[in-house]
Structure 1
């Protein structure tokens, strides 16, 4: 008991970050990603959506990868239902972010529905990087507010200027949103299983792209997660069984030596 008390007392507590540092990081993410809303506005207008539809997507959906997936599938001539299904599937990840953030932030019940609209990749990354709840709340709020305002403003500007810019593909704007999403996702792939899932998803999407209608390859790529999880679980189970067998053999050997 004394050793446990000593260990707990010696464990260093996470130091609180200054508010200025949290705000600086949150604004950096919010501004950098928010400016890519211009690319979405241009791409959406170029795919045939009206100004009202484009702005409504940013105001109500507000998750960049899903928005780009939807307008990209529509621009490629995909079925609207399949395009919406692909966008919806990409947006489901935010529900899992919400499960973790609800425990971390513990916001008042009255503001939770509003905060849920800001649960996206960027706000989750900034909040989860903070050492304590107060800093996490501040980072989440500043990132969400700055990104929401800028994303919708630049979406409007992009949609209004789409006619003057012409084909978004000629400027590479149709790839700006996915590139930002991948840049945020790449540092989060730390384990072998996570890298394997991402790699298999890329392979499935590339293979299916010329074979299946627009929007469907995204759904097929999602199969990478259960496949890798199943293989990883089977490998882990075999490793545990092997370790358990080795322990049993050593225990049996020790028992025989004791009898001697």
Structure 2
């Protein structure tokens, strides 16, 4: 662990610590909401150790607490976790070694650990950022879930403390920097509208999946960008041609002669 700390700069270590702090608050709210909603104490703890995916855990528990079946909860979690498959290919260079190391790496593979790894300039730092962030988050998340689950047995009504808003607030904070792009804003708004419109008609957990329809707008956005980028290139290519015809024809002709 010390070698990992020495490999990364202070700014990266600070950012990882802040993410761990934010995830601790979310983990505590997850444990409290699960237990106060009627689930046994061991359920959120086992989910955090074995699944270790905050979004999928919240979605699965939300489906169960809203009256949905276990199958719907599992499918919802699997669909949300499907995004981790391409993430694994992205950071494959830091997950080499014996099978047990790759298995451990797959367990601590999260959005945050992948994001910090991709920000690093070389393979050595990518490896350090991935493992440090992944292991730190695993420890902090599970400890926070245990504390939250124990506290949830005494709190009773978690809505009175606003714990149900902790996870959406963290997700919103992570998403806000990406909303500076117009195409991303359009896709996010379209997905939100679809999810809200589907909420009265679909079981809990499924409207969120319907929000993926907003990605259709994000896919169309690069097309317009490419076209607009192509026009300046065409103009740039045309300018030298015109200049060559007007001012460089004579010198070239003289060289040929």
- TM-score normalised by the chain length of structure 2: 0.78
Instruction: Tell me whether 1:41 sits opposite 2:26 in the alignment.
Output: no
Residue 85 of structure 1: how far off its partner (Å): 2.2
Q: Which residue of structure 2 lines up, in the alignment, with residue 23 of structure 1?
A: 13
Q: Pick 1 or 2: higher relative contact order, CA cutoff 8 A, min separation 6.
A: 1
Q: Which residue of structure 2 lines up, in the alignment, with residue 220 of structure 1?
A: 210
CA distance 1:75–1:242, shift in 2 (3 Å):
same
Q: Which residue of structure 1 lines up, in the alignment, with residue 97 of structure 2?
A: 108
- Which residue, out of 44, 55, 69, partners 2:59? 69
Q: Which residue of structure 1 lines up, in the alignment, with residue 153 of structure 2?
A: 163
Instruction: Tell me whether 1:232 sits opposite 2:221 in the alignment.
Output: yes
Deviation readout 1:227-257 (Å, 9 max, x if unpaired): 541x33664687689899999x99xx9xxx9
Q: Is the 8 A contact 2:35 2:152 kept in 1?
A: yes
CA distance 1:101–1:49, shift in 2 (3 Å):
same
CA distance 1:137–1:56, shift in 2 (3 Å):
same
Residue 57 of structure 1: how far off its partner (Å): 0.8
Deviation readout 1:154-189 (Å, 9 max, x if unpaired): 111111121211112221112212221232233245
Residue 122 of structure 1: how far off its partner (Å): 1.4
- TM-score normalised by the chain length of structure 1: 0.77
Aligned residue runs from structure 1 range 145-224, under 5 A: 145-189=135-179, 191-224=181-214
Q: Is the 8 A contact 2:7 2:128 kept in 1?
A: no
Kindly name which structure, 1 or 2, has the bigger radius of gyration based on alpha carbons. Answer: 2
Stretches of 4+ moved more than 4 A in 1? 233-247
Q: Which residue of structure 2 lines up, in the alignment, with residue 12 of structure 1?
A: none
Q: Which residue of structure 1 lines up, in the alignment, with residue 252 of structure 2?
A: none
Residue 108 of structure 1: how far off its partner (Å): 2.2
CA distance 1:188–1:140, shift in 2 (3 Å):
farther
Give the alignment's Cα RMSD to 1 decimal. 3.1
Q: Which runs of 5+ in 2 are unaligned?
A: 1-5, 250-257
Aligned residue runs from structure 1 range 68-147, under 5 A: 68-103=58-93, 105=94, 107-110=96-99, 111-147=101-137
Deviation readout 1:205-235 (Å, 9 max, x if unpaired): 1121123221220121112213541x33664
For 2:231 and 2:17, the matched residues in 1 are separated by 50
Residue 83 of structure 1: how far off its partner (Å): 2.9
Paired residues in the alignment total: 239
Q: Is the 8 A contact 1:36 1:176 kept in 2?
A: yes
CA distance 1:30–1:193, shift in 2 (3 Å):
same
Q: Which runs of 5+ in 1 are unaligned?
A: 1-16
